[in-house]
Amino acid sequence: MLAFPITGFLYRNKMWKKKAKEVAFDGTSTPVFNKMHAAREMGVPRLGGSLIWGSVIITIAAFVSLDLLTTFPIFDKLNFLSRGQTWIPLVALFVGAAVGLIDDFLEIGGNGNSTLPGGLPLRKRLIVVGIVSLLAALWFYFKLDVDGILLPFGIALPMGIFFIPFFVLIALAVYSGGIIDGLDGLAGGIFAAIFSAYAGVAFHQQQINLAAFCAVLVGAILAFLWFNIPPARFYMSETGSMALTLTLTMVAFMTDQIADGYGVSLLFIIAAPLFVTSLSVIIQMLSKKFRGKKILIVSPLHHHFEAIGWPAYKVTMRYWVISIVLAIIGMIVAFVA
């Protein structure tokens, strides 16, 4: 039900870009991207990610209220908000959503005649991710006595104080994968598969509240995806991708050493599409800088597949298939290793 008032608000207020993307991450022009996406960029609202975190907020508020206002045991079980398992990822979700919301409003207002910048600069967004992850890392290290990660088959990888910068680097790497939000339905399907896998991992490790949190997040993503499949009614944009990537980092560490699991190692399997997407951009930029030519027609990788002739829906669905397979493999590793 939340989707209808959000959709109405976005379209009434024309919450879309007023000007198509002009430059890539390295400052060069983007003629190939604009040829494929300019019309949609300027006609489809952003801020669709608000449906995801808005649904999570409403669900949590409902369960907490029912638990506090009634004496039925069932509501005590349904209330999954807990300091030990869900506070950290929930705070990450809210912070990412808020900062992403600011970026989206600036993006919307700063591409026409407005004097606002076209979104928060990447450097500032990375600083936010770095600060949030640093605070979380300090909490894990000093409060929860976590100083490393576990690898499959029970291999411990102690890091001591270096666990803190490692945590931050993982958060930045996961956040960079948020650029996969580039085709109708693409990011939604991939994030749904990722958080479904971590819901299964957390449940297997008896982290019931965290599993419930991930499951509610999946439900919210699927509600968003219902309206985001081609042709999309709205885009997830930064308020969704920043919220989800920050939350994913926290969930990965919550399912690692603190629960005798392998949550961080599983990231490289379950969330591989995010890392591959980031890597494709990095490789493209390095190739243009040092070789003077591109490897891909256009980056990130999913746009390259479009440029060579794959229809957007085919790219999206193939990414979904790969993501589901990787999610299953990741859960198998978590269950048997």
Each residue of 215-243: pLDDT tens digit? Answer: 999 999 999 999 998 889 999 999 999 99
Averaged pLDDT, 158-165:
97
Which is more confident, 304 or 33? 304
Distance of CA 177 to the CA centre of its chain: 8
The CA distance from 67 to 73, in Å, is 8
pTM for this prediction: 0.92
Query: Identity (one letter) of the amino acid at 216?
Result: V
The CA distance from 314 to 218, in Å, is 23
Q: What's the pLDDT at 40?
A: 59
Instruction: List residues bridging with 158 in a β-sheet.
Output: 148
At 3, the pLDDT band (50, 70, 90 cuts) reads confident
First-last CA distance in the chain: 41
- Report whether pLDDT(15) > 90: no
- Report whether pLDDT(52) > 70: yes
- Report whether pLDDT(29) > 80: no
- Report whether pLDDT(273) > 70: yes
Q: State pLDDT tens for residues 137-151.
A: 999 999 999 999 999
Q: State pLDDT tens for residues 96-119.
A: 999 999 999 998 876 544 444 567
Q: What's the pLDDT at 13?
A: 87
- Report whether pLDDT(183) > 50: yes
At 336, the pLDDT band (50, 70, 90 cuts) reads very high
Helix (H) or strand (E) segment spanning residue 131: helix 122-138
- Report whether pLDDT(73) > 90: no
- For residue 55, give the nearest of 217, 214, 209 by alpha carbon: 217
